[in-house]
Structure 1
Amino acid sequence: MEVLVVGAGAMGRWAGETLTTEFEIAFADRDATAAASAADDVGGRTVALDTDETFDAVCLAVPITAAEAAIEAHANRADRAMIDVTGVMEGPVAAMRAYLPDRERVSLHPLFAPENAPGNVAAVVDATGPVTDAVLDEIGDAGNHVFETDPDEHDSAMETVQAGAHTAVLAYALAAEDVREEFATPVSEVLADLVGTVTDGTPRVYREIQESFEGADDVADAARRIADADGDAFEELYDEAGRRHRGEETDS
């Protein structure tokens, strides 16, 4: 079986490398040099973005904002299945249902940067079959933990684990003063490491996450509540934070 991977960036390369045991890989990207490099790494080949060829499966590894348009553009190249690894699910799943109603459809979100693989992979298995089963098996065999979800649960979770978390880390980085290393505390050291993780990437990826998912305003509102609180009010917020972390019910 052959898979066309659309997008030769980091996540497209991860998809090609992960699937290469079971599938033959072809890459298409508007950057022909990037496509050729990715293909060379997995022993695959390249095709033009507007190729007339068809494939057993098409795997879309494009930016979040390009996902739905890419599904429409490449639907006729997927003989049996389409998979996306774009990082958002509600829109892509709806688009795949519309443009590939009689084919296998799976939306995946690897919850890690490729250099940190393997890890957790969220999956909406919308229409299963032998091709997508083989894809999921390959991802699992590479050491990843694939777990099923639905588009609403996934996209809601991203408001917390991506948009909210990134906002908190970047806000700390922007607010922090330059201090001697000797002043570091266990908490500040962890935060500094997180700043390094978040900022050791490309702004475009994080921009798309912020534009695609809510969550930043909730973090800003919580920070303002803490900044404005004193005495008993602060202690109540501190206790509420602990209860939330333990999964206990809160009044707010």
Structure 2
Amino acid sequence: MDVLVVGAGEMGRWFARTVSNAVAFADVDESAARDAADALGERGSVASLDGETRYGLVCVAVPMDAAAEVIETQAGRAQQAVVDVTGQMTGPLAAMARAAPARERVSLHPLFAGESAPGNVAVSTGAGGPATDGVLRELEDAGNTLVEVEPEEHDDAMRTVQGRTHAAILAFALTAEDVPDGLETPVYEELRSLADRVTSGTPRVYGDIQDAFDGAEDIRDAAERLANEEFAEVYEDAGR
């Protein structure tokens, strides 16, 4: 079964590395598609976004705000299955159902950066079958742990797991000042390490997460509580 991966970024490349099929990459940046294909060796090739070639499985690996449109335009090229690794589930699965109602449809969310694989992969199935079952087996064979979840439950969880978490870490990074060596506490060192990790990523990715999961507004509201309410009460609420 040949695979078309639409999007030659980090997650598209991760998916292509993890499955054993021949993979064609299509991307608005043709040089990125070529680099991704070259990294796969003989398994890799480049496809056109406007092409009519069909593939057994189409994997959509684009930013969240582009997912629905890309699914609408590319899902018809799938002979058996459509999957996505965009990071959201409700919207992509709905788009798949509209664009490819007769195909297998699965949304995948690797809960890690590509270079940190393997790890937990959230899985929500719109319509299963042999093609997607094979993909899931290969994900497990690569050492990943599959976490079955309903799409709405996943997207709600990501408001905390990604949206609020990233916003809180960035808020710390924006307010923290350098301190003399030897005056760090364990809590400070852990937060500094997390801030370094988050700020070394790709701004577009973190921006997409904020647009999708709205964490910054929740952190702002929490900061206002800290500033304006009795500290002991807020502290107790935080520990519940």
Of the three residues 232, 235, 239, the one matched with 2:232 is: 235
1:42 aligns to 2:63 (yes or no): no
CA distance in structure 2 between the aligned counterparts of 1:156 and 1:234, rounded to whole angstroms: 28
CA distance in structure 2 between the aligned counterparts of 1:116 and 1:127, rounded to whole angstroms: 29
CA distance in structure 2 between the aligned counterparts of 1:181 and 1:115, rounded to whole angstroms: 31
What is the identity, as a one-letter code, of the residue corresponding to 2:81?
A: A
What is the aligned partner in structure 2 of residue 185 from structure 1?
A: 185
CA distance in structure 1 between the aligned counterparts of 2:50 and 2:220, rounded to whole angstroms: 44
CA distance in structure 2 between the aligned counterparts of 1:133 and 1:204, rounded to whole angstroms: 32
Structure 2: gaps spanning 5 or more residues: none
Structure 1 stretches of at least 4 aligned residues deviating more than 3 Å after TM superposition: none
What is the aligned partner in structure 2 of residue 129 from structure 1?
A: 129
* RMSD over equivalenced CA pairs, Å: 1.1
1:147 aligns to 2:144 (yes or no): no
Following superposition, the deviation at residue 146 of structure 1 comes to: 0.8
Name the SS of the counterpart of 2:112 in structure 1: coil
CA distance in structure 2 between the aligned counterparts of 1:33 and 1:75, rounded to whole angstroms: 23
Deviation digits for residues 170-219 of structure 1, max 9, x if unmatched? 00000111222321110000000000110111111111111111232222
CA distance in structure 1 between the aligned counterparts of 2:105 and 2:76, rounded to whole angstroms: 14
CA distance in structure 2 between the aligned counterparts of 1:64 and 1:227, rounded to whole angstroms: 34
Alignment of 1:201-240 (within 5 A): 201-229=201-229, 233-240=230-237
Name the SS of the counterpart of 2:50 in structure 1: coil
Following superposition, the deviation at residue 240 of structure 1 comes to: 2.1
The sequence identity of aligned pairs, in percent, is 55
1:200 aligns to 2:195 (yes or no): no
Following superposition, the deviation at residue 151 of structure 1 comes to: 1.4
Structure 1: gaps spanning 5 or more residues: 244-252
Name the SS of the counterpart of 2:79 in structure 1: strand
CA distance in structure 1 between the aligned counterparts of 2:198 and 2:134, rounded to whole angstroms: 33
Following superposition, the deviation at residue 239 of structure 1 comes to: 2.2
CA distance in structure 1 between the aligned counterparts of 2:89 and 2:181, rounded to whole angstroms: 42
Name the SS of the counterpart of 1:181 in structure 2: coil
CA distance in structure 1 between the aligned counterparts of 2:227 and 2:138, rounded to whole angstroms: 48
Residues 110 and 121 in structure 2, CA contact (< 8 A), matched pair in contact too: yes
CA distance in structure 1 between the aligned counterparts of 2:29 and 2:224, rounded to whole angstroms: 44
Name the SS of the counterpart of 1:8 in structure 2: coil
Following superposition, the deviation at residue 18 of structure 1 comes to: 0.6
Name the SS of the counterpart of 2:109 in structure 1: strand
What is the identity, as a one-letter code, of the residue corresponding to 1:69?
A: E
CA distance in structure 1 between the aligned counterparts of 2:103 and 2:174, rounded to whole angstroms: 47
TM-score, normalising length: structure 1: 0.92
TM-score, normalising length: structure 2: 0.96
What is the aligned partner in structure 2 of residue 29 from structure 1?
A: 27
CA distance in structure 2 between the aligned counterparts of 1:98 and 1:30, rounded to whole angstroms: 23
What is the aligned partner in structure 2 of residue 175 from structure 1?
A: 175
Following superposition, the deviation at residue 236 of structure 1 comes to: 2.5
1:61 aligns to 2:61 (yes or no): yes
CA distance in structure 2 between the aligned counterparts of 1:125 and 1:139, rounded to whole angstroms: 15
Residues 26 and 46 in structure 2, CA contact (< 8 A), matched pair in contact too: yes
